[in-house]
Chains A and B, each alone.
Chain A
Amino acid sequence: MKKRINKISLVYLVLIALFTISSFVFDQLVIHQEDKINNLQSRYTTNESNLHGKNNVCMTYISIANKLANVIYSSSIRFEIYTNLSNISNDEEYLSSIRKTNKKLYQAYYNANFSYFLNELDYRYIHVLLNGELNLEKKYQKSFTEKFSKQYNDIGNSIKSLINEYSNFQKNPTNGNLLLNFYNNAQILFKDISLLSFNFSQEQEYACHERDILQNNIAYILTDLTNQNSYKNFFILFSVISQIFSLLFLTLLFKKIIAEIKTRKVKKLKL
């Protein structure tokens, strides 16, 4: 005997099919989300390592600019004092009195101090730049050299020539022209170091801006990552729910089939 399936069973079957398909769809969405999350995580890692480098560049350039400004600040004041006391003044009477009374003593004292001062300036200048360069990661050292090596070398040479000029002045301390030349060149040197410090500030502005962009990107990626993770969790839960629904309707279908069999048995017995 052939019997067509009744309406309720058909509805159950359709529902089972629907929920099985939706479970499959949600499973696929979970896989898709997983891909997205992996993608975001790799972007996050790349940005984070770049951020570390850019932050390093930004902080190093700030540090170099400030240290160079500090070198100028403390060096130029000492230079002024030494130069003034050895030979420059707006009071000739005062200078004459120094020269007459303490000439040899002052000459020896300031000569020693001047030499020490110039060597210290040389050391401090090299130290600041070298410290900055060594603090940078290798990939950023190249751009550092490209941008600043010319200015850096020129200033280094100026310091060396200033030391030579001073040794000439030392041999002939009464030569005013030598001292004037020495004084003017030192002023130009301080100006050049200030300009280098300014250039570092300018580069720092760019590096810090790039760092800020990376920071914003990371914040955006982190938010996106959280969203995608929660979407993934929801998709897993919806997939489970769909599976449960299909199981539920399958059970109901079984129940319906048993009820049908039972009704048929009763009908047979009555007949």
Chain B
Amino acid sequence: MKYTLLKNLLNLNLIPNRIKKYLLILNICLFMSIFALISSSISIYYQQLISKINQQKIEIKTNKNLTNSIIFSVNKYEDLFNTILAAFRYDRNFADLIADNTVYENSPSRSRERFFINVKNFLMSKDGLEEDIDSFAIIIKDLRHLEENKILAKEDLDKILDLQISLKKRINNIYLSAKNDLIFYSKDFVEIDEDIKKTKKVIYFAEAKETISVTQKEKSTFLVRTSNIDYNRYLELWRATENWLQDYQISLLYINKILIDLHAFLDATETEFAKNISTLSNQSSTAIVFAFILQLVVFMFINFFEISTHKKGTL
């Protein structure tokens, strides 16, 4: 590589008298390059910080989507429980109305239809309910960090946890009390938990342990039920079940409240992150302007001394 070749390549036609001017132009170019270098470095530094915040924002967004879907499910479930509770009460009143219209005061329908069938039908969904209680308990445990962030009072969270534990015990007690009077039909249910398939027996239907036969009496035929079930006991079980349903509904409302608080917290965090990103962008612009001014001052000093040295040199 030759010097002349480079000179020809660059096609420089330098006039010695104008060297000062060339130096000034080159110094300005140097100044601009160094400024661009500094501003790019500042941008890279701030971009790094913004990237970190963006990653946290994605996590928040994922959590928000998850919370939204849980809120949706809890709301649906609460709606369903509302319907079940309404039907439970309606059927009791309905049975009551018919029973009260009967002439015979020892009518078996008074004890049987009012309470037994309601409890029997309710216990058909016992397995599903237990599973839901477990899932909600897991959600609550996951929400401990909300309490740490002082969004939820510790007492409230403990109260909900205690409620879930006691609810599970209570439904088991109702089930055990009615177990001997009922025939439960169950089937294998395949549950998928983190890609692992688990099989368990799940109750899908319940029948009373009764036999129904046809009897003939005074020119009429009757269907007669025979069983050893103490139907009067079901008044107490019915009350326990209704209380259970009410408490469970309240626990769902509590969980919904926590989830709504969590959603608000995530919203606030997301807004804060957006603000942080905007602040960092502003800081980056300010830093670049500040660097430019500082560099300009230094450049003017250096340029002044360099040109004056050059003048002295030529003199």
Contact = CB atoms under 8 A, between A and B. Distances in A.
Contact of A87 (B84, B95, B117, B222): B222
A8 B276 CA distance: 46
Given A74-B87, A180-B212, A237 B40 contact: yes
B308 interface: no
B4 A90 contact: no
A248 B117 contact: no
A76 B117 CA distance: 8
Nearest to B47: A233
Contacts of B103: 97-98, 101-102
B121 A177 contact: no
Given A3-B4, A70-B80, A248-B34, A91 B106 contact: yes
A257 B58 CA distance: 53
A205 B102 CA distance: 46
A226 B212 contact: no
Given A3-B4, A90-B226, A177 B221 contact: yes
B59 to A, nearest CB: 8
B268 interface: no
B315 interface: no
Contacts, number: 232
Contacts of B66: 215
B3 interface: yes
Interface stretch (A29-37, A137-145, A193-201): A193-201
A115 to B, nearest CB: 17
Interface stretch (A123-131, A149-157, A160-168, A238-246): A238-246
Interface in A186-204: 187, 190-191, 194-195, 197-198, 201-202
Nearest to A87: B223
Interface of B: 1-4, 6-7, 10, 12, 14, 16, 19, 22-23, 26, 29-30, 33-34, 36-37, 40-41, 43-44, 47-48, 50-51, 54-55, 57-59, 61-62, 65-66, 69, 76, 80, 83-84, 87, 90-91, 94-95, 98, 102-104, 106-109, 112-113, 117-118, 121-122, 124-125, 128, 185, 187, 189-192, 202, 204-205, 207, 212-218, 220-227
